[in-house]
Structure 1
Amino acid sequence: MHNALYFTLAKSNLKKNRAIYLPYLLANVLIVSMYYILTSIRSMMQTYETTQGSNTDLMLRFCTVVAVIMAFIILFYVNSFVIRQRKKEIGLYCVLGMEKRHLSVMMLWEVVLTSLGGIVGGIVSGALFSQLAFLVFLALLRIPSDLRFEIPLGAVGNTCAVFGVLYLLVLCYNLLSILRTSPISFLQGAKEGEREPKVKKIPAVLGVIFLATGYGLALFADGIYETIKVFLPAVLLVIFATYFLFLAGSIALLKWMKRRERFYYRPKNFITVSGMLYRMKQNAAGLATICILSTAVIVSVSTSFSLYLGEEDILKLQFPRDYHASCILEKGEEETADLQAGIEHQAKENGVAMRDDFGYKQLWMAGLAAGEPGEFTLSDGEQISPENLYIFAFLTEDDYNKNTGADLNLGDDEVAVYEKEEESVGQSLKLDELSWKVKSKVEDPGVWNQALYLTETHYMAVIVPDMSALQEIRDVYNEKYAGTQTGYRVITYEYYYNIEGTRSQKADFIETLRDTLIQYVEHPMAVGNVELSRTDYYERFGSFLFIGLFLSILFLLAVSLIIYYKQITEGLDDRERFQIMKKVGMTDDEIRSTIRRQILQVFFLPLAMAALHTAASFPALVDLMRAMNLINQEIFVRCTIGVVLAFAVVYFIIYTITSHTYYKKVQQNE
């Protein structure tokens, strides 16, 4: 009997506070559905043998962990807001004779109803859209799939278990809030936070110092290696700085505006500044959170889109032809013909024709600048600062002339040099006891090397007269580092070519090519083609893009909820003040104008700070994108600008919708 009464009372409370609980319930449904979609996609991906145990599954698993953390934060933020707004109501229940145990039972039913609505609604809506999301995910990965409807029971059970635990924690928090708070405190809850906050100098100074340090680390990091080391500390410093500046710096700014009498004692400015000042302490944490989440949305979407769109640029440089094979040249130059003969035999066996082929012999190693221009010493490349490290790629004149159409005509002691950026070689080149005259500088290295495009390491291509020169350089290096963990350098032959044939013929050709080459060359190395690499790239960066979009939706949801509930809080706090102003002659137009000014200043400050954070982190993000193989920086610039503008539009829409809620709260009677 009592349970039925408390159940009815809980339903009545939810209905009476629907302006608060309806967005809460919708948010629960969306969070649960997104988590279910993510777990169901991961479950369905297990049916694809190409991705079992791959990086895709690891990234999806990581995303589920982040989703649970975000769900926990969102649920507890909204729930704590609901409890704060209902303090007066709960206090009245206590005055009317309800004991804390009665309130606990009522609160239990409220949590049960909202949790059931969230879990059931989330799983149902997730099941309806999970297949569409799965097809989008496969499309990003370039994996063909048939349309089908599937509800993985494991995903359903996982979702129920995870959110059952989260709602249980919410219930425990609510019960503790009731048990530890007196009825008088509940009745006075609505009056908390009315004292004018004081300026806290230490947090304000720390905020400035942390922000300057974080920006400095991101802006002045020298190269990819240093950026990777300092990026996470820089992010943490900026997060702390954002909270300190919003908590202390915003109050200091408003106090300064208040001291400007000509500015402050105008009707519009007086209402805006005084209203913001008295509630900035409780607003600051929410605004700082909005800023951090907004920055996370911009960075995650722009980086994931850039990596996905920049894949083809990487493939074009890595594969000047569609197919590639390489081997180690131990005996001599004749092994290059053996590799080509094996590939030609495989082509005949599979009925495909070879064309547009070319190759080159290559030897690469590390060196350090010795001080004088053009003088270097050999290095094993271990634990060396990147600004002093050089990567050398040695090529032969005949290969270079054949592939580029040049006519170097080198003498026995002459070389031609390509340098990636700065000029560090003059008329001569010396590497330990090896030395050459530099006959000419070339503008095309004639090779693809990761150090050439993807790192800040100094890169130098050196064209030597013949194969015997390559062997001499190799022997000098291997003698110097004999018996060390460095290993020894080898001369490789890199061979690129295209083939003509049907799709099935090409697939058969590449499938058994390595087995054929083993019969022709003693040390075959890489065997691949652009399609295999494209599949790998799209699987990796397609997963990254999907996860980036997924997390950005969660972040946007959190931003929307924080703004919505903060607008309600603002409206409730301002209602009595504006009612007084209206009684003393303030018109509805003046009220609306004042409201617009206030919420513009409050809610667009985090967007401006998020754009500033993104701009300050951009040089570091460029280095990180290069470390993840993004060569085309123009793509990243365009994606970042586009995402910032798109997010600003979405943010403005959220602000426009929630501002109506604020105005209604201000205009309605007590």
Structure 2
Amino acid sequence: MLYWKLAWQSIVKNKLEYLPFMLAGTAAVALNLVIQLLIYSKGVQTLRASSSVIELLMFGQVVIGLLSVIFLLYTYSFLNKRKQSEFGLFSILGMQKRDLIKISWRQQLINYMIVTVIGLVTGVLFSKLLLLLFIKLVGGNNFQLNIALGAIIFVMIFFALGFMLLLLSDIWVVWRLKTISLLQASQKGEREPKSHWLLFGLGILLLAWGYYISLTVDSPLKAMTMFFLAVIMVVIATYLLFIVASTIVLKTMKRHTNYYYQTDHFITVSNMLFRMRQNATGLASISLLTTMALVVIVTTVSMLVGQQDYVNKQFPRDIIMTNVANKSISENKVKQAAADNDVALSKMYHMEISNPITGYLTSSGHAMPLSGTAVTRADNLSDFLFMTIQQFNQLTNQHGETLAANEVYAYDRQGTFKNNTIKFLNQSYHVKKHLSKIDGVPSMQASMTHSMIIVIPSKTVTDKIGSAFNDLGENKQSISYTNQLLFDIKGSDKQKDKFLKTFKGEQNITVDSKSETMSVLKSFYGGFFFIGLIFSISFIMATGLIIYYKQISEGRSDKKQFDILQKVGMSHSEVKRTVKSQVVWVFGLPIVVAIAHLCFAMPMMIKILQLFGVTVGPVVYTTMGLTIAGVVLIYFGIYLKTSKTYFKQVARKY
């Protein structure tokens, strides 16, 4: 019974540290439970793209689960110094290491029970609200929520394992350290760090390299392949520069005696310099977590807002019927089916366009078949589609347009091809006109590769190109044409579905509907946004906790120093001014660095967004601006709230 009493008293006595830790654990349990309940929900399982949405939620569960464990371990590390001092005292009073371990596992069990019970109740209470939000985002209509026992058991087992890791860390600390080390752990000071110019240079090099990759990336595929490399470089550089560059800057300030020996500057600079080894790691973590929150919000909101624009550009009309055998689709048959199902058709037209062939496009405009060389330069892969000038004239109502045998029009969907000639193997064609769009043709395409439509004089051109690509390329490709019928449709959803089913079973006929595509994309993008929202909450919560624990630990360390300074004549107003200067300097820097990271990451993010069909324009940049403003506001609120904790500790007696 004594062990239980000591375990509980320790938690109550150190409630200032334990309460935020338990709140973080409770929020983590609730978030994990919400995702699990969504996976089990009938409302999600009955969506059109349910399998994709559930896979997305399961991916989110893995990431949130890992983040939850990392956050628990990280925040618990702030508690450990306090516990080590307490265990040192117990050891002096006669307790052995096994007794300390008995107290520790009881503490962890109490923490686990409080966190899981409150977290599960909170998760269940909020899951209905979040289900409504989620189903609304993904375009569903079934709001049924199942409180699945399997979801609750999963979360309980998962966090039981998490708290076992915390217990193992306690056992490791107790078993490894001597009594005097345990007792002095919370008072252990920091030595003044050295200026490592080599590490400073490495940090600058890695940061510049990461930024350079983002600024110079020229294709969505390259952005995807280089993204994680750039992220790793920037993460390492951020930690190095916060640790090393901050020390160099502070030592430079110290060398300028006119600046350093002023009351406000002397205390701020000396305090930060001696604690910079520990301080810098926390500040770098705050900066990176804030950056992740910014990146996730900008990306997912841009996708959610841009989905309608993407679908509109992919579908010039409501319905696209395609005959892959290049046989004309009978308008009379389509109109008869419309009459039979009471739907009205309008703006109907035919279009003939080739299937895409994939090649390697050089910067000089030379298109070559796929080969080993092309594979190694995958960022320059390009899809080529072909359309005759006759078909182009019919679509654009420009019947006077003609092309010579060696002339073409080029419509680059990404807008990057500006050459005056394009060469397919040994045959060169003069680009008579660069087109910004072709009426009636989808103006953009979410693709891993660059894509172009080439308007040609006649099909004999594609016969030559197709034959050459087939003979010389490693992957055998041939060019064939498909016939499409596009039109708008009006009627009830039931009537439209019945009409479309008339053709979906026909051989060589594919039917694509704007509304169905929108429904599928809404499920995917809505799910992406929801997971991004959960991620952002986790990142911001972790940021707030790190800031809070830094204020507590630094406040305790600084209190004794400010007591001494007050006794030797420092006024109350000078104390407050000095503290304010230190806090602003420390917590202003991470948000500035985070915004800089986001700005330099935007070129690469924009390329990645293009893979998801998001048009680069005002939507993305407006989202970016509003996200920065919102996160800065939240960050400033956290800063104001947690700063009070610091002030109370260092100035409570003044």
For the superposition of Structure 1 and Structure 2, which TM-score range results when normalised by the shorter chain?
A: over 0.9
Q: 1:379 aligns with which of 369, 375, 379?
A: 369
Q: Mean Cα displacement is larger for which, 411-420 or 110-119? A: 411-420
CA 1:279 to 1:369, structure 2 compared with 1: closer, same or farther past 3 Å? closer
Aligned-residue offset at 1:352: 1.4
CA 1:384 to 1:105, structure 2 compared with 1: closer, same or farther past 3 Å? closer
Residue 425 of structure 1 corresponds to 420
Look up the equivalent residue of 2:54 and give its one-letter code.
Answer: D
Look up the equivalent residue of 1:504 and give its one-letter code.
Answer: K
Asked if 1:407 is matched to 2:399, the reply is: yes
Look up the equivalent residue of 2:221 and give its one-letter code.
Answer: Y
Asked if 1:475 is matched to 2:459, the reply is: no
Aligned-residue offset at 1:90: 2.3
Q: 1:623 aligns with which of 607, 610, 613?
A: 607
How does 1:592-607 map onto structure 2 within 5 Å? Answer: 592-607=576-591
Question: 2:43·2:142 contact (CA, 8 Å) conserved in 1?
Answer: no
Q: 1:461 aligns with which of 454, 457, 460?
A: 454
The CA distance in 1 between the partners of 2:633 and 2:259, in whole Å, is 31
Residue 533 of structure 2 corresponds to 549
Aligned-residue offset at 1:239: 0.6
Residue 223 of structure 2 corresponds to 227
Aligned-residue offset at 1:162: 0.3
Q: 1:663 aligns with which of 643, 647, 651?
A: 647
Question: 1:387·1:458 contact (CA, 8 Å) conserved in 2?
Answer: no
Q: 2:504 aligns with which of 510, 514, 518?
A: 514
How does 1:51-450 map onto structure 2 within 5 Å? Answer: 54-146=51-143, 148=144, 150-330=146-326, 335-336=327-328, 338-363=329-354, 364-365=356-357, 379-380=369-370, 383=375, 385=377, 391-410=383-402, 413=405, 417-420=409-412, 421=415, 422-425=417-420, 431=424, 444-446=437-439, 448=441
Question: 1:291·1:610 contact (CA, 8 Å) conserved in 2?
Answer: yes
Question: 1:390·1:459 contact (CA, 8 Å) conserved in 2?
Answer: yes
The CA distance in 2 between the partners of 1:574 and 1:40, in whole Å, is 46
- Classify the secondary structure of the residue corresponding to 1:359: strand
Aligned-residue offset at 1:502: 2.1
- Classify the secondary structure of the residue corresponding to 2:146: coil
Aligned-residue offset at 1:405: 2.4
Question: 2:341·2:495 contact (CA, 8 Å) conserved in 1?
Answer: yes
Aligned-residue offset at 1:637: 1.3
Question: 1:451·1:457 contact (CA, 8 Å) conserved in 2?
Answer: no
Deviations 1:429-481 (A, max 9, x none): 775676778776655423535777867736353153xxxx22x2343234334
Aligned-residue offset at 1:112: 0.9
Question: 1:390·1:460 contact (CA, 8 Å) conserved in 2?
Answer: no
- Classify the secondary structure of the residue corresponding to 1:69: helix
- Unaligned residue ranges in structure 2 (runs of 5+): none
- Classify the secondary structure of the residue corresponding to 1:383: helix
Residue 13 of structure 2 corresponds to 16
Aligned-residue offset at 1:345: 3.1
The CA distance in 2 between the partners of 1:652 and 1:370, in whole Å, is 49
Identity percentage of aligned residues: 29
CA 1:486 to 1:629, structure 2 compared with 1: closer, same or farther past 3 Å? farther
Look up the equivalent residue of 1:290 and give its one-letter code.
Answer: I
Q: 1:495 aligns with which of 485, 500, 511?
A: 485
- Classify the secondary structure of the residue corresponding to 2:41: helix
The CA distance in 2 between the partners of 1:647 and 1:34, in whole Å, is 20
Q: Mean Cα displacement is larger for which, 186-195 or 472-481? A: 472-481
The CA distance in 1 between the partners of 2:363 and 2:115, in whole Å, is 68
Q: Mean Cα displacement is larger for which, 106-115 or 560-569? A: 106-115
- Classify the secondary structure of the residue corresponding to 2:251: helix
Asked if 1:486 is matched to 2:476, the reply is: yes
Residue 562 of structure 2 corresponds to 578
RMSD of aligned alpha carbons: 2.6
The CA distance in 2 between the partners of 1:200 and 1:495, in whole Å, is 68
Aligned-residue offset at 1:196: 1.8
Deviations 1:165-192 (A, max 9, x none): 1111111211221122111112221332
Aligned-residue offset at 1:78: 1.8
The CA distance in 1 between the partners of 2:55 and 2:434, in whole Å, is 46
Question: 2:56·2:527 contact (CA, 8 Å) conserved in 1?
Answer: yes
Question: 1:28·1:75 contact (CA, 8 Å) conserved in 2?
Answer: yes
The CA distance in 2 between the partners of 1:482 and 1:180, in whole Å, is 69
Q: Mean Cα displacement is larger for which, 432-441 or 569-578? A: 432-441
Deviations 1:5-62 (A, max 9, x none): 2212221111111111111111111111111111111111586244676221222111
The CA distance in 2 between the partners of 1:437 and 1:251, in whole Å, is 60
Look up the equivalent residue of 1:541 and give its one-letter code.
Answer: Y
The CA distance in 2 between the partners of 1:370 and 1:116, in whole Å, is 63
Aligned-residue offset at 1:669: 6.0
The CA distance in 2 between the partners of 1:71 and 1:441, in whole Å, is 52
Asked if 1:565 is matched to 2:541, the reply is: no
The CA distance in 2 between the partners of 1:411 and 1:594, in whole Å, is 76
Q: Mean Cα displacement is larger for which, 5-14 or 117-126? A: 5-14
Q: Mean Cα displacement is larger for which, 435-444 or 291-300? A: 435-444
**What's the TM-score, normalizing by structure 2?**
0.92
Look up the equivalent residue of 2:82 and give its one-letter code.
Answer: Q
- Unaligned residue ranges in structure 1 (runs of 5+): none
**What's the TM-score, normalizing by structure 1?**
0.90
Question: 1:315·1:530 contact (CA, 8 Å) conserved in 2?
Answer: yes
Aligned-residue offset at 1:134: 1.2
- Classify the secondary structure of the residue corresponding to 1:86: helix
Look up the equivalent residue of 1:216 and give its one-letter code.
Answer: Y
The CA distance in 2 between the partners of 1:296 and 1:574, in whole Å, is 31
- Classify the secondary structure of the residue corresponding to 2:154: helix
Look up the equivalent residue of 2:76 and give its one-letter code.
Answer: N
The CA distance in 1 between the partners of 2:184 and 2:364, in whole Å, is 77
- Classify the secondary structure of the residue corresponding to 1:360: strand
Look up the equivalent residue of 1:178 and give its one-letter code.
Answer: V
Look up the equivalent residue of 1:299 and give its one-letter code.
Answer: V
Q: Mean Cα displacement is larger for which, 41-50 or 174-183? A: 41-50
Look up the equivalent residue of 2:496 and give its one-letter code.
Answer: K
- Classify the secondary structure of the residue corresponding to 2:45: coil
CA 1:663 to 1:513, structure 2 compared with 1: closer, same or farther past 3 Å? same
CA 1:388 to 1:106, structure 2 compared with 1: closer, same or farther past 3 Å? closer
